[in-house]
Amino acid sequence: MYSELKTLKIHPIDNVIVALEDLKKGRYIKVNGDLIEITRDVKSKHKLSIHNLNPNDKIIMYGVVVGVAQKSITKGSPINTHNIKDEIQKFSIDNYKKSYCWKFPNVDKFSNKNFLGYKRSNGSVGTENNWLVIPLVFCQNRNVEIIKATLLKELGYENNSQGSYDLENLIKHFKKGSSAEQLMDIEIDFNNRKKNNPLFPNVDGIYFLTHDGGCGGTREDSKTLCNLLAGYINNPNVSGATILSLGCQHAQIALLKRSLKKLKFCKSKPLYFLEQQKSKSEKQFIAEAIKKTFIGLVEANKTERTPQPLHSLVVGLECGGSDGFSGITANPTVGYFSDLLVALGGSVIISEFPELHGIEQDLINRCLELDKAKKFVQIMKTYNAKAEALGSGFYANPSPGNIKDGLITNAIKSAGAAKKGGTSPVVDVLDYTEQLTKKGLNLLCTPGNDVESTTGIVASGANLILFTTGLGTPTGNPAVPVIKISSNTSLFNNMNDIIDFNSGDIIDGKETVESCGEKLLKYITEVASGKKIVCARQLGQNDFIPWKKGISL
């Protein structure tokens, strides 16, 4: 029997459609006037063919090649890992023509809007005013943790942590001799710490980076680490930093200073460099670090929020735990926001190069300059070739969770992920740790690993990150707010403690991509002004993982 079932054909030339709800075998759907019988059950978020496909036929979605049929696929049958293999649309720099024409959106309603930000002496603007404590080498991680335990508690920033679980009831029953089965039935209470009043009200947070680098590995690793840390220190959301060194490691203080010198560094920021091997004792070394940090916070507290134009926003774009709806709700919403911000004169950064695999030609054609297009092609080919030499490749990017929820090839995942970048021209292509210098859409080489990627985005100058997810990802960043955007309403309702914004209403027809994108811009303005605190900040999710340029997809 035929009844209206919810499906979506994304592009006119697509030969597969997306199931917006569970579709049962034997039911019928209508696509472009053609009545199609569903041959097998199809889960929501997955795809089904609307034509009979023969082995080696190309499978088209989003208007691009996303795979090739491994066997015959009858009309109305689901696409799965058994009948499709990854294949991408070929790309070439020879096809580049400097003729991309962008129809930018109307931004009249936002043209006079501002946010309350922190203006730096080099002209950049922060959405937060944070202090960083940074180790140059993993040997300093323990010292960083000691300083963290002291400063957060004593200065009133302990509310940035996620609270604690009360084990008193569990311990009491254990002492009474309860069995393992009985202990499993005991309730554990969660205690939110009361919000303290920070001693320095204009300092939004004190954050502590730890990592496993700085020594061992290659000297190139340490050079890259110093470039990354320099980017964090120079980030507009950072008011100053305390840098701890052991003294004998590859990542020397001098190397970090050289990295800072290459940047348009905000010289008014207080920086304190301490070297443990020159100190009298560990106790004295930590005490000096605490005192200098305190003095730096006194200076940082003098900076206040002032009205700033929206074009001062530099927004990083990330996706993680993506699902079959990410490419039709959350990512297009972010893409429309991106176009709005670029039209207003702002900047966006799209990263995760393994997840741009398959739509290279589109991005090549959108580059305003030939040398940028060539740089993009060179980075993509080198990255993928290195992965293949080690027995992998971009094709291996989708995770089990991606596949389970409909992203069964990397090309399908990439075509949806790229929607975050909207439709504006590409003004620049950046390699890992390179700084953003041009207004507009920038491409930044990072891996697909969520935290390695967000870590890199912040180092290149983002003052805020939008993070789309269909499955739910609990992560954040120590230097900038990370706004989580759900692709479906079910996720937003089930994981409301980690999700900030819902785009799932698009599936239900309650919102359009455009209306949702405009709502997102308004929400971002509130976050950038410090009026809304994102979930990642409330939960103390401050993840930092440098990429060592190995094969991370």
Which of the residue ranges 101-115, 145-159, 225-239 would you say has the lowest mean pLDDT? Answer: 145-159
Beta strands in 151-235 (DSSP E): 164-166, 189-191, 205-208
Distinct helix (H) and strand (E) counts, the chain: 15, 24
Alpha helices for 422-494 (secondary structure H): 450-459, 489-494
d(CA 68, CA 178): 58
- The answer to whether residues 352 and 404 touch, using CB atoms and an 8 Å cutoff, is no
The alpha-carbon radius of gyration of the chain (Å, integer) is 25
Q: Residue 500 burial (CB < 10 Å; 0-12/13-18/19+)?
A: buried
For the packed helices 450-459 and 219-234, what is the interaxial angle rounded to 10 degrees?
60
pLDDT at res. 267: 79
Nearest to 394 by CA among 407, 411, 406, 377: 411
Residue 4 has a pLDDT of 64
Residue 166 has pLDDT above 80, yes or no: no
Q: Each residue of 244-291: pLDDT tens digit?
A: 999 999 999 999 999 999 997 877 899 999 999 999 999 999 999 999
pLDDT at 162 over 70: no
pLDDT, one tens digit per residue, over 115-148 is: 999 999 999 999 999 999 999 999 999 999 999 9
Backbone phi and psi for residue 23, each to the nearest 5 degrees, phi listed first: -115, 130
Angle between helix 141-154 and helix 282-300 axes, rounded to 10 deg: 50
What are 508-550's pLDDT values in tens digits?
889 999 999 999 999 999 999 999 999 999 999 999 999 986 6
pTM: 0.92
3-state secondary structure 484-504: EEECCHHHHHHCCCCCCEECH
pLDDT category at 161 given cuts 50, 70, 90 is very low
Q: Which residue has the higher pLDDT, 265 or 492?
A: 492
Give the C-alpha separation, 218 to 250, whole Å: 9
- Residue 205, SS3 per DSSP: strand
Type of residue numbered 513: V
DSSP conformation letters of 510-542: S--HHHHHHHHHHHHHHHHTTSS--HHHHTT--
User: For residue 376, what are its two tokens?
Assistant: 């993009």
